[in-house]
Structure formats: C-alpha cells, structure tokens
Amino acid sequence: MILKNRIIATPTGDDFEEKAMGGAALVIAGHAIVEPGRSSFASPEEPYPFAKYEREETRKKVLKIHRGGAKASVEIFHAGQDARTVDYAKGPSALIRPDGVEVKEMDEEMMEETLRWYAETAASAKKIGFDSIFLHFGHGWLPAQFLSPHYNHRTDIYGGSIENRSRFPLRILETVRKAVGNNYPIDIRISAYEWIEDSISFEDVMYFLKKAEPYIDTVQISSGIDKIFEANVHCITTNLEEEMPNLKWAKQAKAELQIPVSVVSAVMTPAMADEIISKGYVDMVAFGRTLLADPYWPKKAMEGHPEDIVPCLRCSNCYHISSDHWNVGCSVNPRYHHQEFVPSEINLPKAETKKHVVILGGGPAGMKAAITASDRGHKVTIIEKQKELGGMLRFISKEAHKEEVQRLLDYYLTQIFKREIEVLLNTEADPELVKELQPDSLLIAFGAVERILPIPGVEGEKVQLATKAIAHPEQLGQNIVILGGGSIGCEIGLELAENGKNVTILELTDTLAANANSLYREALRQKFLLHENLHSLLKCGCSRIEEDVVIYKNESGEEKQLPYDQLILSTGLVAQRQLVESFYGICRDTVAIGDCVSPSNIMNANFEGYTAALNI
C-alpha cells in the first residue's frame, strides 16, 4: 500500500469522512467489534459491522474515506474482560467484575472461537474494501489483557513469562495474517506502558513486537489503558501532560524494528511532526484530536499555511466519556460532533447582502464571530477596550501548561490580521459610539468579570484577583491561599506549587475542579499528588480575611486560621447583564454571545461566536 503522505488519522469516532478530505493519507475508522455480542465496549447490542444487514453501512465508510482521497483502514477491537455483555465476558483470567458480570478465563475452546472471529472479521474488512486493518493490541483490550501482568494471572502456557503472555496475541496475529493473505497491510496499536501498577514493561512490549514483526506491517505506539480512569489520562492526554509523551518509546521501537513505526498522542503542530519524521525517530505520525479540532490540518500544512490550522487545546471535551455525554464538543471546532447542523468553515454560506457587523469585545467569542462574519462577506468592526485583542485568552496563555491556548490566541490574531476587519483598540464601547457606526448587526461579547465575594477584609492589600496573580506572579509571596478550587483556582495553585510556593486552596464544596470534565479533573488530581507544598481544604468556607491570616470554617463548623502572604480570589465569574442590556435597542439585530451572557468556557464562546455570525 502506498500512502500519499505520512499522516494517519487515528480512530476518534465516526467523523472520518472530513478527515479524509482534509488530507490525511490513511484514515482509520473506529472501531469494529471482532466478535458479535462478546467484544463490544459500547453496548451488548452493538452491531457487528460485517453482518448481512450492516455491510452496506460499513461499505459506505470505505467509500466516504476513498471519496475524500485517503486510504481506508478499520480498527478491529475486542474488549475482552471489559466487554458489555449481559451474561459473561471472557478474558485471560477469571474474575467477577464490579458490575457483577462474570469474566471467564479463556480455555482453548474459547480461544479458538475468538480466533475464528478474528479471521472472519479481518477477511470481511478486506473483502468490503478497507485497504488495511488496524488491530487494537493496546489500551487494555483483549490482546493487551493477555500481554499485561495487570490482567493476566494465568499459570498455564498463556501466563507468567512474557513468552507465555505473548502466546495468544501472537496466535491472533498468525490467524489474521492467514485470513487476509500476505499482500495485505496489518497495523497494530500497542501501549508501550500502561501507567498502572503491574503495567507491562516496555522491555516486554519490545519482546512481543519482535515476535510479532513477521506477521505485521507496521505498529503504532500509544500508552495507557482506556477502561482504567487513572491510566486513561495517558491514552488521551490533557494539556497538563507533556506533548508527544509516547515519542521516547516510539523512537526506541523504530530503532529496534524493521517495520515502519508510527506514534500517536499530542503531536500538535506540523513543525513537531516534521521534526520527528525528518530526524528518523518515526516513519509516520498518527493524529487524534488535532484532526477533530481541524480536519484540514494536513492540507493547510502541505500548502505552507500552518498559521491557518485551528489548534487543539487538549481540553478533552471531545471525549464522550470525560463529559459523561452531557456536553460533548470541541473548544475550537464548533462543527465537531454537531456536523448535522453546523456547516464547515470551508463551506460557509455566503451572505446574501453585505452588512456592517459591529462586535463589542475582542475575546474568543468576538474574534470567532468577526472571522466568520468576514468570511461570509460582511464588513466587520471590532471594538475592544484593552490595548490588545484576546480577552481572557491573554491571561490564560500566560499560565503554565497552556501552550495550546497561546497557539489559539496566535491563530485568532493571525486570522483577524489576514482579513479586512476593522479593529478599534483602547476603545470602550458605549451606546453613542455604536449608534455612530450604524451597524446592521450588533454582537455583544463583553465577557464576564471576576466575582468578588462580600467577605470582610476582601479589599485588603494582599488580596488579588486570579487574573492579576496570573499576570504578575513575580509579585506573589511564598505562602499563598487560593479562595475557590474550581479549575481556574486549581491550575493557578498547581503552577505556583510547581514554582516552589506553599499553596493552600480553600474550597466550599467537596470536589476540586468540579466544573472541569472528569478526565481533566483526574489529570489535575494526579498532578496535585506530586506536590507536598500544595494543599486543599474541602468543605471549608472563608469567613474573614485579616491582615496576616485567613479565617475559615471547616466541615464541622470549627473556626480555623491560615497565615498567608497573598490571597488569590478565584471564586468564579459574573455575567454583565446590565451592561449588555444597555446596548439593546440601537440595532434591530442585536445578539449577546459568550461569557457576558453566562460565564462558561472557550468552547461555548467559540460556538456562540461562530453560530451568531452564521445567522447574520
């Protein structure tokens, strides 16, 4: 199989068609269960993609990817002991799962049955037109369950040594190779490290890969375990983790194997991808969320316009599990997960009449609206009271671990600069000015303001707002108390602790970062554990701020005190409804967007900016 470039679109749900249009060479549709009724992780009824009445849909997946100009692959996936079954699941070792489902230790007969399904599924994938297959051997799924000492407690020839633990996974590969023949590409995904107790060692992974090499054509290096939350943050890393975390292992695999090696996870920019390929560290790069944020990433890179790529923030709002399905979306791509009602940026409906759109406030909501309205053919003016555009992004991008937000800010500023958008900086919007501009359409995007709780002593000199603390960390003393343990307070606390300060977070509720998605909360929890100088006091309310001590009440109502050099207020944001209302009545078409209506996040600001501009 010849690929047109070295970019693989790794499985991230069902939006593979646009990824193919965007220029990736190989698009992997994910996932196809191996064994009907026994291998799904979604539901016991998950359809088998090659069943008679599913084939037409599956064939469409192939054609959609081909239509976009990419080669098509499919992830072949067996959940093993974690299968959503109603009666029993099968895995390397017997157990009763927390949900009461029995996991049966696979005997020879069960193994044979599973192998038959692997053969059938692989052969069907080939027959239906996929150009290659991608076998999931990582993230704690069935083959990984056999490989990993965390799951495999057998004492027979399938357990114990790595030679034994490799035996069944190798039989899968042998079976699949036989089923698809020699001239058909087989790729596998493997976890180099599982990030749990009793994780498989990288040495063992390399042992297995060397044994697997005769059967496979390429391998993709990942890490972590999907089903175990602490380890899942390493499959799908947040911005709190380093970028390209799996590269160290992929490099070594590439050095020791003959077959091509790809790496996945947090490869963010074309420069990063170019570097690791040109240095010979890997042969191909696999992208997950970067292509959800911008499916046209490859084309933009290829055409020499990396500055037009919409950067992924690694917020993981796209990952259904982390939001518990409440609010799945992408911080920067309003279309992701909403394709049926949000048009693509490359396919924006042109405005029927050119209008003058005036936008008040140049934060993410205002900037996104400005770019979109301009692309639709409108004349756009932004009024911003600060000396720069960016809104809260100017502060967030100064924080540690927020390189992605800096990229987003750079992206917005570049895009505004590239268009004929009039920007009035250092200009506070007032109704008279807006009237003078005679807008046909007015978008209000003033953002929110930081909340100052009416606590005695809050006006004290040593009390600061979160944004001030972010902007001037050099002015902070050694002992810091943060009031409010939402994600903003936690991030500030983590950064200060990383810089050696003694930090205590006071939080009224029983959860830190309750507003964050669960994956991000877990990532923060793990980071907090690394710092002895970072403390949090839950269910504690601040009652008074004195010159050198903060007085708070703990869960039992006892009054306690904490000495401090600085107290940082991170107690939420408030909408600016009155200000917003004062701008209604000037222009018939007036809409308020983003935080000024209801404080939220970048995802909401971006979505509202985009859709408001679509409606003009």
Ligand X SMILES: Cc1cc2nc3c(=O)[nH]c(=O)nc-3n(C[C@H](O)[C@H](O)[C@H](O)COP(=O)(O)O)c2cc1C
Reduced to 3 states (helix: H, G, I; strand: E, B; else coil), residue 112 is: helix
605 binds ligand FAD (CB under 6 A): yes
Q: Which is nearer to ligand FAD, 32 or 408 (CB)?
A: 408
360 interface partner picked from ligand FAD, ligand X, none, CB below 5 to 8 A per type: ligand FAD
Q: Is 317 exposed, middle or buried (0-12, 13-18, 19+ CB in 10 A)?
A: buried
φ and ψ at 498, to 5 degrees?
-60, -30
Closest C-alpha among 473, 464, 480 to residue 550 = 480
Q: Which 43-82 positions form the footprint of ligand X (CB under 6 A)?
A: 75
**Token representation of residue 112:** 């044979």
Site string for ligand X, 234-253 (x = CB under 6 A): -xxx----------------
CB atoms within 10 A of CB 221: 29
Residue 123 vs 235, nearer CB to ligand X:
235
* Choices 285-293, 465-473, 531-539, 588-596 (CB under 6 A): range interacting with ligand X: 285-293
Q: Which does 493 bind (CB under 5 to 8 A by kind): ligand X, ligand FAD, none?
A: none
Answer left, alpha or beta for residue 388, where phi above 0 means left and psi between -120 and 50 means alpha: beta
Question: Shortest distance, CB of residue 607 to ligand X, whole angstroms?
Answer: 17
Choose the contact partner of 602 out of ligand FAD, ligand X, none; CB within 5 to 8 A by kind: ligand FAD
- Residue 331 CA, chain-centre distance (Å), reads 9
**Burial letters 177-203, b for 16+ CB under 10 A, else e:** bebbeeebbbbbbbbbbbbbeebbebe
- Among 594, 607, 610, 611, indicate the residue that binds ligand FAD (CB under 6 A): 594
From the list 206-214, 282-290, 447-455, 593-601, the region that binds ligand X by CB under 6 A is: 282-290
- Tell me the closest approach of the beta carbon of residue 371 to ligand X, in angstroms: 24
Q: What is the contact mask toward ligand X in residues 119 to 148, using x (rule: CB under 6 A)?
A: -----------------x------------
Q: Interface with ligand FAD includes 428 (CB under 6 A)?
A: yes
Per-position x/- string for 262-281, each x denoting binding to ligand X as judged by CB under 6 A, each - no binding = --xxx---------------
Q: Provide the pairing of β-strand 573-574 with 7-9.
A: unpaired
Segment lying near ligand X (by CB under 6 A), choices 6-14, 52-60, 209-217, 343-351: 6-14
* Residue choice 68, 361, 439, 493 for contact with ligand FAD (CB under 6 A): 361
Residue 147 interacting entry, from ligand FAD, ligand X, none, C-beta within 5 to 8 Å by type: none
The one-letter amino acid code at 275 reads E
Task: Determine which residue in the list 138, 185, 224, 362 makes contact with ligand FAD, applying CB under 6 A.
Answer: 362
Question: Do strands 441-444 and 590-592 pair parallel, antiparallel, or not at all (unpaired)?
Answer: parallel
H or E stretch at 515 = none
What are the CA-CA distances from residue 317 to residues 127, 237, 326, 605 (Å)? 36, 12, 10, 14
**Minimum distance between the CB of residue 602 and ligand FAD, rounded to whole angstroms?**
3
Rounded to 10 degrees, the C-alpha dihedral 30/35/38/44 comes to 50
Tokens of 64: 């959609």
Ramachandran sector of residue 80 (left: φ over 0; alpha: ψ -120 to 50; beta: rest): left
13 binds ligand X, rule: CB under 6 A: yes
The residue type at 118: Y
Comparison of 466 and 506: residue with beta carbon closer to ligand FAD:
466
Query: Please, are residues 51 and 124 in contact by the beta-carbon 8 Å criterion?
Result: no
Q: Does 11 bind ligand X (CB under 6 A)?
A: yes
Supply the minimum distance, in Å, between the C-beta of residue 436 and ligand FAD: 14
In the list ligand FAD, ligand X, none, the entry touching 386 (Cβ below 5 to 8 angstroms by class) is: ligand FAD
Among 32, 301, 442, 445, binds ligand FAD (CB under 6 A): 445
Of positions 124, 322, 600, 611, contacts ligand FAD by CB under 6 A: 600
If one asks whether residue 466 binds ligand FAD (CB under 6 A), the answer comes out as yes
CA–CA separation, 90 and 431 (whole Å): 68
Q: What one-letter code names the amino acid at 546? A: E
* Shortest-Cβ-distance residue relative to ligand X: 288
Residue from 447, 485, 486, 493 binding ligand FAD (CB under 6 A): 447
Hey, which residues between 377 and 416 contact ligand FAD (CB under 6 A)? Answer: 383-386, 391-392, 395-396
Interacting residues of 457 by C-beta distance below 8 A, sequence separation 6+: 463, 544, 545, 546
Query: Which option in ligand X, ligand FAD, none does residue 265 bind, with CB closer than 5 to 8 A by kind?
Result: ligand X
Helix (H) or strand (E) holding 462: none
C-alpha 9/C-alpha 286 separation (Å) is 6
Of the candidates 73, 81, 114, 290, which one interacts with ligand X according to CB under 6 A?
Answer: 290
Residues whose CB falls within 8 Å of the CB of residue 523, separated by 6 or more in sequence, listed in order: 233, 237, 238, 240, 241
Q: Does 289 bind ligand X (CB under 6 A)?
A: yes
| Shortest Å, Cβ 47 to ligand X | 15
Q: Which does 10 bind (CB under 5 to 8 A by kind): ligand FAD, ligand X, none?
A: ligand X
Burial 48-82 (b: 16+ CB within 10 A, else e): bbbeeeeeeebbebbebbeebebbbbbbbbbbbbb
**# residues contacting ligand FAD (CB under 6 A):** 34
Is-contact 366 442, C-beta < 8 A? no
Judged by CB under 6 A, the chain residues 319 through 348 that form the site for ligand X are: 319
Interacting residues toward ligand FAD by CB under 6 A: 331, 360-366, 383-386, 391-392, 395-396, 428-429, 445-447, 466-467, 470, 488, 573, 594-596, 600-603, 605
Interacting residues toward ligand X by CB under 6 A: 10-13, 30-31, 75, 136, 222, 235-237, 264-266, 287-290, 318-319
